[in-house]
Amino acid sequence: MKQVNTLFRSLQSFICRKEISEILEMVDYRDPARKFTVQELLKYWIASSIEKWSGFRDSEDKMKSHTDLVAVDYSTLSKKA
């Protein structure tokens, strides 16, 4: 988990929320989410890659143990991805 937290911080130093917003605006994407935003999706992808989560259903349970991730239903993960 320490490795995941370090990568979250690294991601934020490379690309901030403002830059993500600018990129989304450039590709004309409107993020309707209030809870699980594109930034949260990027954090999810980092955690799931490092810890080798097997799928969205597996991720739903594992997200709850991460303090840096917003816990959402697997269907929300699937739709957002």
What is the mean pLDDT for each group of 10 consecutive residues in the chain (81 residues)?
Answer: 66 77 89 85 85 87 82 88 85
Output the pLDDT for position 4: 65
Distance CA 10, CA 34 (A): 24
Output the pLDDT for position 5: 64
Q: Are 1 and 61 in contact (CB under 8 A)?
A: no
Angle at 75 (CA atoms; ends 66, 7), nearest 5 degrees: 30
pTM: 0.74
